[in-house]
Amino acid sequence: MTFPAPRGVPPAGARFVLRGREVGRGADGALRPVVMAVLNRTTDSFYAPARVPDAGRAARAAEVAFAEGAEIVDVGGVRAGTGPEVDEAEELRRVIPVVELVRAEVPDLLVSVDTWRSGVARAAIEAGADLVNDTWAGHDPALVGVAGAAGVGVVCSHTGGAVPRTDPYRVEYPPGPALTPGGDGDADPRDGVVLDVLTTLRTAAERAVACGVPRESVLVDPTHDFGKNTWHSLHLLRRTDALAGLGFPLLMALSRKDFVGETLGLPPEERLEGTLAATAVAAWLGARVFRAHDVRASRRVLDLVAAVRDDAPPLAALRGLA
């Protein structure tokens, strides 16, 4: 027996495919959001438990993440924020051995590399990476062409014009028109940031496709906190449905971010509950992929949201039947 989609449930996010594999589609045909585990080969990332000092331990961490429900691991070699300089040679030294180990030892785990440098992207793809996570919005314009030539996925992001490893300062976006269908209704001045994100991501995603990246392998990311203050990030979260409406699979990197901490008045170590609340909201509104430090907890939240949305069945349904 089939049932119509429940009323009031936002549309499911766009299909997501990497190297011919549909990500998030189970053997039962159910559609569940995807967890991308964070794996930082850095010494200074803002959340200390995500720092992995050597390649061997990083590979073990990837194994654990896969066992806990991650389908992708995102390997990064440079802290996103300000800090000591990390040149390309050092980034390669940190990242490439991990990609090679994960590819060899956890072959069913997809590998993403968090870099804005085309040289690092090229080497990572040669080592077996499936996705390039360009968190700095095409700062190196050659990067998307590298991904396209190899036929791997790419993340298109939004930073409001900020350059790598800078923090936002008094960022403003001009008020935008109403974002209701047809543009009718009263404009919400807060939608200026949403309009800027939509315009930027649409342009970047179409360029990626033109460069050879398969359309279903282009992720779009509003990139909370990058080039934004806490009000901007909160508003982007509440407008997740508009972002998902771009027609590309939507990535949300919400985990323990500053906007969560500032909203609740908490340091990174105490932001799990806030992260999971934001994750549930975004999943309900159509986001497909979630970059997460806490894989097991995120997986459980996303599975419950998928069941409530009626995208996937419960893993067991015995109460009152047995």
In order along its 322 residues, the chain shows pLDDT tens digits of 345 556 789 998 899 999 999 999 988 889 999 999 999 998 888 888 888 888 999 999 999 999 999 999 999 999 988 888 999 999 999 999 999 999 999 999 999 999 999 999 999 999 999 999 999 999 999 999 999 999 999 999 999 999 898 888 899 998 876 665 444 556 677 899 999 999 999 999 999 999 999 999 999 999 999 999 999 999 999 999 999 999 999 999 999 999 999 999 999 999 999 999 999 999 999 999 999 999 999 999 999 999 999 999 998 889 998 7
C-alpha distances in Å from residue 255, one per residue of 50, 114, 160: 11, 15, 20
* 225 occurs within a structural domain: yes
E-strand ranges in the chain read 17-18, 21-22, 34-40, 72-76, 110-114, 131-133, 153-157, 218-221, 251-252, 289-292
pTM of the model: 0.93
Helix axes 55-67, 88-105, angle to 10 degrees: 50
CATH number at residue 163: 3.20.20.20
* 242 occurs within a structural domain: yes
* 72 occurs within a structural domain: yes
Number of domains the chain is built from: 1
Residue position matching structure tokens 């794996």: 39
CB of 131 closer than 8 Å to CB of 99: no
Cα 295 from Cα 314, distance rounded (Å)? 19
* 9 occurs within a structural domain: no
* 109 occurs within a structural domain: yes
* 265 occurs within a structural domain: yes
Domain containing 70: what range? Answer: 27-309
Q: Is 21 helix (H, G, I), strand (E, B) or coil?
A: strand
CB of 239 closer than 8 Å to CB of 191: yes
* 287 occurs within a structural domain: yes
Indicate the residue type of 292.
A
* 63 occurs within a structural domain: yes
